[in-house]
Each structure stands twice: as C-alpha cells, then as structure tokens.
Structure 1
C-alpha cells in the first residue's frame, strides 16, 4: 500500500513538472532564395511590442524559451526587412512549438545607418580555407570584385588591379568553380552579384599542384529575367596618362543567360632605374653602373562573350569565346659606365633601346554543369591559341653598333577536364580527370649572335580523388592527385631535352569546429619553370649581358604543413615549407673574343626551408570598420656551400584597412602596407611602405558611382629596390617607380544585376607557364 501511494505521488508530481515546464519555440530563418541566414535575432514580444526575451542565433536555425505572455515573434537580421509572426501553439511536439521556415526579404542598408555593438567576424574558417560573406553585408555595396578584394584580409590589390595573396605568389582564381584567366573578368563582376569569397592557402588535391593559393568566388543566382548594363571609364594620372573604358552586358531571357564584355585600355608608365653590377671569376671581374629612363605604353582590346542555356535550373550548357589584342612599346635610354679591373679606366656606353610587342589571343570554350541536391558534375573543354611577335632594336652609340632581335612565337593549348563530387550520408567524395596538350613554336627572324628555332611540346594527364568525413565537430579529409607530363624541347631540330615526369601529390587534413576552430593539414605542390626559362634563346639585356634559358631546369617540389586556428575576430596560420630544387636566377661571367659579358640563366637550389606565421583580425566601432593582416616569414637557404639566409632573418609584412561613411552614399577607405627589409632567395629587398586613399560617392539611386583613388601618396613604395648577392656576383638595383598616381572612375549601371560564370577554363596552369 505504501509503495502504491509513493508511486501515485511521483506520477502526480511528474505531471505537474511537465505542465510547469516553459514552452520553447524553434524554426528556420532563410532569405528569398531559401539560403540560411547566418546571423539573426529572434525576440518574443508582448501585445504592446515590449520585449520579453530574445537572443542572437547562427547558421539559419534557432530554439529558445517562449514566455507565457508572448503574443508576437520578431525575427530580424542586418540587411533584411524584419518579420513579425503571431503564435500558433497547435504545432508543437511536447513543449517545443515549431513555426517552420521564416523568409526575410532583403533591404539594402547604407553603411552610415549601421551601428553594431557585437560584430560577427568578417572572416570565418572552413577547414583550410577562410570564407568572407559578401551578400547581405557591407561589402555588398563595395563596387566591383576588385573593390571587394581590397577590403579582404590577406589579399593585396596593386594600383592597376592585379590581385595577389600575401606570401603566396602562385594564385588560381575561380569564378563559380572555373578558372579566371584575365583580370578584366573580375573588373566586370559587380559586388552585388557575389555571394561569398573563400581563400585557400593550402589547396587540396582537387586543384592543380602548380598553385599554392586558390580564391573561389561564388555568385548569387537570378530568379527572374533581367538585363544589366554597366559602363565604366577610369582615368588616371601619374608621370604618364592612362585611360580604360568598358561596357558589360549581363542578361537572362527565360533559360538563356548572356554575358558580353568589351573593354579598351591605354596605360602609360615612366620609371627611372640605377644599377650597380659586379661579377667576377677566378681570373677576371667586371664592374658596371647603369642609369636608365624607361617609358612604356600598353594598349589592350579585350572582347568576351558567353552564352549559357539552362535545360533545368541546375543543368547548364555554356559556350564562350574571348579575343584579346595587346600592343606594348618600350623606349629606354641608358648610360653605362664600365670600370676596368684595376679601377683606373672608365668607359661610357650610351645605349638606346626600342622594344615592341604585339600579341593576339583566342580562347573558345565549351562546358556542361549539373548540380544535384547532393552532387555536382562539370565537364570543360578549352582551346587557347596565341600569336606573339617581339622586336627589339638597340643602338650602341659609342661603338656605332646596332643590334636587332625579332622573335615570333605561337602557342596552342588544348584541354579537357571533368569533375564530379557527391555527398553521402556517411561520406563526401570528389573525383576528377584532366588531359592537356601544349605546343610552343618560336622562331628568330633576326637574332642575337645566332638564329635558333625553338620548339616545346608537352602532354599531361592528371587525376585526383578527395574524401571527407565528419564525426561530430571533427572532420577528416584526405586526397591524392597523380600528374604525368611528357615534355620535349628542341633547338634547330636538335632535341635538347626529352623527359617524363610522374608525381603524386597527397593531401591530409583534420579540423575541429567549435568556439575555437582549428585545422592541421599537409600537402605537396610543384612549381614548374615557365617555358621562357626552359627555351635556349639568347635575349639581349645590355652591351655586356644577356639572358638565356636552361632546358635542364627542374621543377621544384614543396612539402607544406600548416596549422590554422580561429577564435572570434582573430584567425591565424603557422606553416612549414620545404623546397626541393627551388628555381633561382644566377649570373656567370664569361669571355668571348676578348670581351667580358655576364650570362644570366637559371639553376636549382637543392633545399630551402621556410617558416611562415600569418594572422588577421577585423574590428570596428560605430560606423568605422577595419582589418589588419600580419605575416612573419623566415627561410634557410644554402647554395654551393654558402648560406644566403637563415631563420634569424625575419621578414615582416603588415597590411591594414580602415573604412568609414562620410555622408549619404559616400565612404572613404585608408589602406597602409609595410614590408621590412627581408631576404628572398638571393635577393635582399629593401623596406617599403605604401599609403593609399579611396573615396566613393553614389548618386541617382546608386546607379552612378564616382570613385577617386590615390595610390602611394607619400611616394614611399619600393617595388623594385633590392640587392642580389650570388656566389660570384653582386647587383644593386634602385628603382624610382611610377607608383604614385591619382585615378578617377565613373561607373553607370542600368537594370538588375546577376553574375555569370564568365571564366570556363580547364587549362589555366598551362597558360600561366607561357
């Protein structure tokens, strides 16, 4: 009887406990394209709109306690129209009320209207990559991708729009999964079209082993027909005037997407160089000094056209074509002084050089993509053909001697590539295969001392597999890439080299996701020499020096181990890199017919070790935002028994941005970059500081954007100032570059915007080597 009584009492207390439990509410928050919104607020309100409870949530889902007095739920996120929902307590499981998916419509916000007390990090880690969201953030209104890149930590944008990653010189940029070959495609990409940008500083086996960094740009999809036109003109003034104009058309008519981009630019540059050169052997030495004035005029006409037909929303067939015509003229006036071995005699050699280059590129491409719920298939075919004509005419006034070089070159590159990925319930995997063929035919019409014909043919095959598994907050990734290349070079029908390379490139990674994100990874990469570094052709530099390729130059293999961590607004990576057969330029003193000359060529350094610490953070207060990136690096290099750098020699690279609104539609950004004096192979680069200012003003409902760009305001950038110490040579270079300039840009846009995958290339790494 007593046990029955206690059982009944326990049952009643349990019922009272369940009834006394507070109700909870759950749901999902998505945008108009049903993509999860990453950061949002949910608040429970009384009938008079006063708040009872609430909080911030992430990754598109939430669950919170629901007070009894609650009459409304308010869901809000920066850049979206808030949603108010009345409660329906009928849809519940136990004590949890489910209100399903809540769709928030976008509401563009001016930078000046934003006041955030607790900020989400600008950068978030995802495995070995760090991701920057563009859509629904302040970066959405930056302008073009070039403007976005200037605001992303770790990315460096030069005054002419060239993009690089700090500490990673071999960069691949993908737009919607395919390679971007020309920076003009990024200049045409509007920031409102971009969904996110990820930067991978240690790429997996899915990417060619030639690259040590990959930028992936994802764009937003259109949900209706549209026409979007952007007309841009940019004028800049330095020592020479430059101007570029472009018209870009993006449109969608039912299932057909069209992209057209036409641009023309004419850029001028004037710089002054001074050089001291000392080269010696066991029995002789050569000392020269040089002062030169270099004037460059570069003209470019670029036309791109892409048509993409969608059989279904996620299945597309595309056809693209790009034509590029480049002309460049260089005028150089040089004064040489040659010092005799006994330092007594001084000979002056004034020299005038005129160089011209004309290049025509053709690039048709065909591609097919299919995106399933858990899979992706992409097939890409490319042809790239280029015709190049170089002419150089030199007048050695003191010797009354003229030297002429005329060289024609023709490249043919064919490529076929396929990628497939699939996500299973227990595992994700990706497979790929690639076949390419390169033919390079060069002929001297008139040469320097000899007139060789050069040919290079290369056939390559690559395949890869990537696996990824997630267990709780831990994810594991492994990949393996196999590359085979058969390369043959000849000189006047004489085979100089005939080699077959077989390489395996493994990739391993383990990552943890939590309040602190961390990952540890290993990869192997290969840095192949360019074809100009391999081809045996003599190129005149000055009366006493020339350059020539080395057909026996080996590719450099690099093993990289990196550890990355992120906590809040701080993120960082430390990596160790070991190079095998790193490529470097060397100088050799030789004598022909009683005349001393310096021959510049290339050689391999057996082993180089490098340590890199890379860290970034973003910050803000009120309407001021900024980010800072810091990189510390050191290396140890020995060549022929001589130590050229040690781990004690630490290089520092610091880059910082600050941006603020001025008034409605106007903003300004300050950018500063500092690099201390540091070693790089045989080079010792002098310290450099660059301070730049960017101003923008939007008018006519943001259709017209006026931008002012002031680069290197204090003229303190040292882009080409170094000392090159080799075993038997020392060269000191001081360049007064044309780095300071003022630019004015006008951009007018019509209609709605949506990005296209303008770049569809399966042969990016092959054309890089040309």
Structure 2
C-alpha cells in the first residue's frame, strides 16, 4: 500500500490539465477597499455562471478556472456593477489590477448590506463570518455558538447536530486544544464550513469536520490587536490577549498570546442507587465547588515563501493550565439493612498541565492542479494532579484522610504527506499517508495521611501507533459531481500496568466513502453520501489509573474496551439558497458507554468504567434556514433524533426508542452601520441516548456590539443564559445501578468586552498539524 502511494506521489504529478488563475482588488470612489462584495465568472456566450463567491477587504482571487475566455462581474450594494472580458489564451495567470466602483444614487436611503449567513455547497454548510454580525461576536467560540448546525455547550465542547464531536481545522490545520480556539477572535475569521459526512481524506475517527478559514494578510505591514473580556457572575473572571502579525516581502510572522483567569461557584446534587439481592444502598451527595483556573496560551508562527510555488513554515504552541478546586460534599448513605450514615467530604484538587507542540510544514504548489504538502509534529504533554481528601463519618465519628498523586507524561510523534493532482485531464486525485506514535508513562499513588501507609500504587505504560493511507478520486462530470475514496488505518496498542501486560491489540480497517451531488438549478441541489468511521477509545478509557470519588465510588479505565465502528448515510438538500435539509442514518457497532457497575471485590462500591454494547442505530433530521433583510439577519435551526438501542438493566433489556428534538435561532439587528443588537436562543428537549436520560434545557443570551474610530475600537456587552436554564440533569440506568446528577453551574454571566485594532488588524494565523486525532484521545 505504501509503495503504491509513493508511486502516485512521484508519477502522477506530471499528468495535469490546463487551468487559469484570476485576481484583483476592488475599491470605492474614495480609494478605500470594499469591505464586502461579490464576484461572478461568466461564460461569454450566454453569461451563465461558471463560479462565484463573496469577498472582503477589497481582494479577490479565483484558482483552477477551466476556461480560455470568460466575463468577470463585480457587484456591491450601493455601487454600479462592473463587467470585464478576460482572455487566458496568452497567459494563464492574470491580475486585473484595481477596480474602482462608482456609487449609485440612492436618494438618501440608508442601506446596511446584509450577507446571507450560510449556504449549502455539495452537502456542506458554508457559513460566512466576515461581513456578517458573526465577525463582531467576540472570540471564535462566540462565533461558533451563533452558527447554524453547531452546538457549543457551557464548557465550550463543540458538537455538530446529529454527528457528535467534530475534527476542527483552522486553515487546513487540525487544532490541538480548545484553548487554541479561545485565543482567536471572531474578526479573525473569514468563514466556517461544516461537513457532516467527511470523505476518506480525513481521519476515520471524525464523524464530522469543521473547517475554519481566517483572513489573509495581504499587505506588507505590522498589525496589532489587543483585547480584554471581563465576566461578572457568582465569581468574576477575566481574559486578556494580544495578537501581532507582520508581513515583510515573502516572510509572514504571527504571535498570539492570551491569559485567562476564571473563577466560578458550582453546585451539584448527585445520587447512586445500588440494588443487590438482599439490600439496597442509596448514596446521595450535595456538593459545592470553587474552581479557579489560570491559563497561558502562546502561539508563534513563521512562514517563508521560498519561491512562488514553495513555502516552508514553523509553528510553536504552548498552553499552560493550573486549576485549583475546593469542594465540600454532604453525603447521606442509606443501606436498607444497616441504617443511615452521614458523612462530610472535603477535597482540595490541584492540577497542572503543560502542552508543547512543535510543527514543521512544507507546501509545494507544483501547478494550478497539483500540490504536495508535508507536515511533521512533535508534542509533549505533561499532566500532574494532587488531591487532598478528608472524609469524616459524622454518624460513627470516624475520619479518613487520603492524598492521591497522579502523573502522566505523553510524547507524540506524527507526520503526514498529502498529494493532489489531476489525472488524464479529467480526474482529480487526492492521496496521502500518515503515521503517529503516542507513548505515556503514568503513575498514580494513594497514601493514607493518618497512618502514612500507601493504599495503592499503579505504574502504567501506553504505546499506541497508528498508520494510515488514503486516496480520493473525483472524476469531472458535466451533470453531477462524484467523489469516491478509500482509507486504510492500522492500529497497534500496548498497555502495561505494574509491569504486567493488560492489552496487546492490533487491528486494521478499510474506510470507504462516496459522495454524489446533483445541482438541478441555482435553487435546488441534492447530495447523497456514505462514509465508514471509527471512534477509538481515549487513553483514559484504556488506562488502569483509578480516580477516587469517595468511600463508595471510583472510576477506572477498561483496557478491553473495543473501538466503535459506524456506518453513516446522509441525504442533503440545498433549497432556494437559504434552506438546508439533512437526513442521516447511523449504525454503530460496539458503541461505548461509561457505566456504573458493582465493584468485583466489594459490591457495595460503585465502579464507573466504560463498556461496549453490541449496537446502536440513529435517525437524524436537521433543517437550517436563513433570513437576510435590510437590518435583520436571522438563522433558524431545527432537528430531531430517534435512537434504536437496547440496554441491560435489572436482568432485562431496556429498549431506547424515545425521539428528541432541538430548536436554535440566532438574530442580529443593525441599528446603525456601527451598532447592532443580538438575541440567541437554544432549546433541547428531554432525550434518551444509550443508557442516559437527559432532562430538557434551554438558553437565552442577548447583547449589543458597537464600534468607533472607523471600526478600530470595538465594545460589546453580552448577557449569557439569562434564566440559568442551560444545565443538563441526567440519569443512567445500567445493570443493577441507577446514577444521576442535578447540576447548577455558574453559567449566567454578563461580559464586557473591549478590543482595539492598530493598523487595520487582520488575523493571519494559519495553523497546521498532523496530531489532532491523537491529542483528542488524551
């Protein structure tokens, strides 16, 4: 397989077809670059559209145009349309220079140009950020929260409706950590693309892909942005950051640094009901927690254009997190054959995490249809936590004090090569290889602080290696688009605990993907796609480390847990340029759940550990609609899910068939060209998924954005989760145990944001990586 791909890399690069590039600049009558405009490439015979797009900041560019002659049509609200003839017969790369647009006489009518927020392209949802209210949302997470098709929870976990957690790319680079998204601002972003059923080009571990494109630095100058956010809730928090970008000739450098200090006060009522043959134990905990988190986030990037076709880049990311959390729990244990016991549990947890990522990348654009990309990563991730636990049995006047020390030291090596070309002037080929290696030396020690004796010590080692190869073919057809590919991934995992092998596993799978797209008119297009995927267990799920909760409960991994294999079928409709409808079916083999089971040695103790169930099936529906008016822009999203699952409980099988639904709307109203208000609402109905029942939840957030000094100074105020109704209460039923939680998190807050741009700042971060899939398993 590897020899075949290497043969493709060095042989097929010469088989290319003729294509052309076109670029230019658009300004207004005052010689200022237009913020937003559209450009269409037309056939000269009948003016039918070949391709079109929306552009910002005055610059546009089209690549890979398969025409010898065409018309270019430039349009902008409030300006006269410009049309020019273009002839590629003598040269295949043309810069038309600067086009100055002339004003239309509007008789004193004020127009706020509103862009449609999204459109569907070949089954993918493309969301415009630049030139819309999303660019003023705040940080990148704020823009994602207000994007159709995405749900971002209170912990900034991203999910694609009906698909789960996606792989996230920023300028074709897989992100490493959520903190990297927090460091980016919404006005750095050009567009967001959601792919609900990605092809074999992408890691088989991703059921969905979110691609984020940032704005380009086009001129030689230094750009600087500083920002501050203050949160007012039960506890106050702050975030400060600075971005510096510099472009000199063929060298581009970027520095991004942010510091976050977050504090909160959270409540939780948790319970477990452990039913044995002769008795039942009910364990109820009422807990208050005070987490304090400090995060330093640094990103450095240097890109050098060696020639017009060769680019080399170096990137470094450093994320340091320190969290201290005090918690106080009141525990009541009711054992039917032994009465009631009252206990008090005090915990002091201290966690230090350091993530270093070094990246070297090379891009060779052989011609307009062929390119070679090489990326190499080295990552070091160190996680050290200590937990001081004091437990007092008030009923029996007994005390227990424990100190748990947990250390993990991960090292990740990864590399990938991707090659694109055109075969026989009619087939686009993408092919590539990837390899990664993850090692970890972990150690957990528990000490009884009263007797100074060691309760237990676990030393575990993880060695995980994955190699992959893929190819994707896209023949050029007149009436519809066809894309088909195969990906092969081979996994070799070894885990030992206290020098004893607990897992030695190797497996390989083929992952096919197919996409068929038909555009019936400018207002109707249909996409049918299929992809096979894999969800490997995280290293925490595989590790034998023990996380101690209290005298009656703990969690540990399961080295025997199997990966989940899924088959995904999607049917998408793009209608009237502002309506997207998606139907999906998913079949999962060896679906995984975190179950509560009785401990083998002591059935009174509840052990939380992952287990497999044989299969799970889902039907999903997602509908997204966009309205763009003179002053108002609104998106509406509606979706539903119906599971088909059977879960063992109390010697029977629970059939999970309950349907659930959600509704989301994001609304922005422009008061003036500088000031807008917004209101966003999300509702999730009660639902059952695998063994878990979730109660309904909702969130209403409102805010106002305004700018001064030609949009250099931006000020925003936002009220999040006004009614404090976004928490998810849940209950699990598995085997002989019921477990549940009723949280009350510190989610209702008011945020004041201020941001200043020096020298017309444009985000220039172009992150690249080869190790995202591995880091997601840490």
More off after superposition, 623-632 vs 314-323: 314-323
Task: Name the SS for the 1:209 alignment partner.
Answer: coil
The residue number in structure 2 matching 1:723 is 731
Distance of aligned partners of 1:495 and 1:739 in 2 relative to their CA distance in 1, 3 Å threshold: same
The residue number in structure 1 matching 2:488 is 482
Cα distance, 1:83 vs structure 2: 5.2
Task: Name the SS for the 2:520 alignment partner.
Answer: coil
Distance of aligned partners of 1:433 and 1:358 in 2 relative to their CA distance in 1, 3 Å threshold: same
Cα distance, 1:470 vs structure 2: 3.1
Q: Deviations over 1:438-495 (max 9, x none)?
A: 0011012436832110111011100100011232231111110000011000001111
| Cα separation, 2, equivalents of 1:108 and 1:438 | 59
The counterpart of 1:200, out of the listed 195, 202, 210, is 195
The residue number in structure 2 matching 1:32 is 25
| Cα separation, 2, equivalents of 1:615 and 1:431 | 33
The answer to whether the aligner puts 1:338 opposite 2:339 as a matched pair is: no
Equivalent residues of 2:318, 2:354 under 8 A apart: yes
The counterpart of 1:459, out of the listed 439, 449, 465, is 465
Map 1:632-711 → 2, pairs under 5 A: 632-640=640-648, 642-647=652-657, 649-711=658-720
The residue number in structure 1 matching 2:405 is 406
The residue number in structure 1 matching 2:368 is 373
Q: Deviations over 1:687-743 (max 9, x none)?
A: 101000121110121111111111110122123x11211231112311111110111
Equivalent residues of 1:407, 1:445 under 8 A apart: yes
The residue number in structure 2 matching 1:385 is 380
Distance of aligned partners of 1:101 and 1:385 in 2 relative to their CA distance in 1, 3 Å threshold: closer
Equivalent residues of 2:568, 2:585 under 8 A apart: yes
Distance of aligned partners of 1:262 and 1:588 in 2 relative to their CA distance in 1, 3 Å threshold: same
The residue number in structure 1 matching 2:67 is none
Q: Deviations over 1:519-555 (max 9, x none)?
A: 1111111111111111112211122111111100000
Distance of aligned partners of 1:136 and 1:351 in 2 relative to their CA distance in 1, 3 Å threshold: closer
Task: Name the SS for the 1:400 alignment partner.
Answer: strand
| Cα separation, 2, equivalents of 1:746 and 1:664 | 18
C-alpha RMSD over aligned residues: 3.2
The residue number in structure 1 matching 2:51 is 59
The residue number in structure 1 matching 2:501 is 495
Equivalent residues of 2:526, 2:572 under 8 A apart: yes
The counterpart of 1:350, out of the listed 322, 344, 352, is 344
Equivalent residues of 2:445, 2:458 under 8 A apart: no
Equivalent residues of 2:137, 2:143 under 8 A apart: yes
In structure 2, list runs of 5 or more residues that go unmatched. Answer: 1-20, 28-33, 54-70, 88-94, 448-453
Equivalent residues of 2:158, 2:165 under 8 A apart: no
Q: Which has the larger radius of gyration?
A: 1
The answer to whether the aligner puts 1:82 opposite 2:80 as a matched pair is: yes
Q: Deviations over 1:52-84 (max 9, x none)?
A: xx99978349xxxxxxxxxxx996623685356
Equivalent residues of 1:81, 1:105 under 8 A apart: no
Q: Deviations over 1:162-195 (max 9, x none)?
A: 5432233322111121112234444454555544
The residue number in structure 2 matching 1:442 is 442
Distance of aligned partners of 1:140 and 1:243 in 2 relative to their CA distance in 1, 3 Å threshold: closer
Equivalent residues of 1:133, 1:195 under 8 A apart: yes
| Cα separation, 1, equivalents of 2:682 and 2:407 | 40
Map 1:413-428 → 2, pairs under 5 A: 413-424=412-423, 425-428=425-428
Task: Name the SS for the 2:593 alignment partner.
Answer: strand
| Cα separation, 2, equivalents of 1:616 and 1:500 | 42
The residue number in structure 1 matching 2:247 is 252
Distance of aligned partners of 1:236 and 1:313 in 2 relative to their CA distance in 1, 3 Å threshold: farther
The residue number in structure 2 matching 1:232 is 227
Map 1:593-608 → 2, pairs under 5 A: 596-608=604-616
Query: Structure 1 stretches (4+) deviating beyond 6 angstroms?
Result: 33-37, 39-42, 54-58, 100-103, 106-109
Equivalent residues of 1:355, 1:393 under 8 A apart: yes
Cα distance, 1:316 vs structure 2: 1.2
Distance of aligned partners of 1:601 and 1:41 in 2 relative to their CA distance in 1, 3 Å threshold: closer
The residue number in structure 1 matching 2:723 is 714
Cα distance, 1:29 vs structure 2: 10
Equivalent residues of 2:626, 2:634 under 8 A apart: yes
Task: Name the SS for the 1:596 alignment partner.
Answer: coil
| Cα separation, 2, equivalents of 1:576 and 1:480 | 20
Equivalent residues of 2:631, 2:671 under 8 A apart: no
Task: Name the SS for the 1:222 alignment partner.
Answer: coil
Cα distance, 1:124 vs structure 2: 2.5
Q: How many residues get paired?
A: 703
The counterpart of 1:209, out of the listed 189, 204, 216, is 204
Equivalent residues of 1:30, 1:104 under 8 A apart: no
Task: Name the SS for the 2:76 alignment partner.
Answer: coil
In structure 1, list runs of 5 or more residues that go unmatched. Answer: 1-27, 43-53, 62-72, 92-99
TM-score of the two chains, using structure 2 as the length reference:
0.84
Map 1:526-537 → 2, pairs under 5 A: 526-537=534-545
TM-score of the two chains, using structure 1 as the length reference:
0.85
The answer to whether the aligner puts 1:617 opposite 2:625 as a matched pair is: yes
Distance of aligned partners of 1:115 and 1:330 in 2 relative to their CA distance in 1, 3 Å threshold: closer
